[in-house]
Amino acid sequence: MEVFSGFQMTTSNSLIERPKRADARRNYDRLVTAARDAFAELGTSASLEEVARRAGVGIGTLYRHFPSRQDLLEAVYVEEVEDVCRRADELTDLPPWEALAEWLHRVVSYVGRKYALAQELWNYLDRDAPVFSGCRTALFAAGGALLERAQQAGEVRADVTIDDVMQIVGGIGKNATIPPDQMERILDIALDGLRYSA
């Protein structure tokens, strides 16, 4: 089990250790959800008081779970990565290409949010900090399994790596000049380049 920045890397599908007691876990989840929504709506500088208000808890409860702003930012960052990784597991019933393409569409919408959180976290952490490398490993493992499955089915070029795919998706997702309604279309065009062609 690798400990990083207040969180523990576990051997299960969870990257962080959450409270075990049901009431504490409910408050933890409400705070992370409220923080994610507040950061999306107001930016990553949204106040912790606003997060607590949205979660319906006192500021003391927030500080019991997240002693610092960095702890809360990391929890939201990790939660988003776990959500994307869980989605990869849920798509395995689809045909290989459909599963990969659908997951990458999910990733591209997540990349913009993740990038904003990462920029805020860089105020506290080095870019190579374990929280980033742990999340990257989990994300690449989830996507790598879908990519390999599509390659084995002859749907994707054999010379493509998960690094290639994530560079493409990351470049599209981080590009603030692409209007949201065009992002899906641009990703579809990029994905056509991954398809196997005899």
Q: What is the DSSP letter of 95?
A: -
Tell whether 128 is covered by a domain: yes
For 71, half-sphere exposure in the C-beta direction (CA atoms, 13 angstrom radius) is: 15
Tell whether 145 is covered by a domain: yes
Domain span holding position 103: 2-192
First to last CA, the chain: 44
Question: The CATH number of the domain where 174 resides is what?
Answer: 1.10.357.10
Tens-digit pLDDT profile for residues 132-175: 899 999 999 999 999 999 999 999 999 999 999 999 999 998 88
Q: Which amino acid is at 86?
A: R
Q: What is the DSSP letter of 19?
A: P
Tens-digit pLDDT profile for residues 104-133: 999 998 887 777 788 888 888 888 888 889
Split into its structural domains, the chain has a count of 1
Tell whether 198 is covered by a domain: no
Tell whether 197 is covered by a domain: no
**What does the alpha-carbon distance between residue 193 and residue 178 come to, in Å, rounded to a whole number?**
19
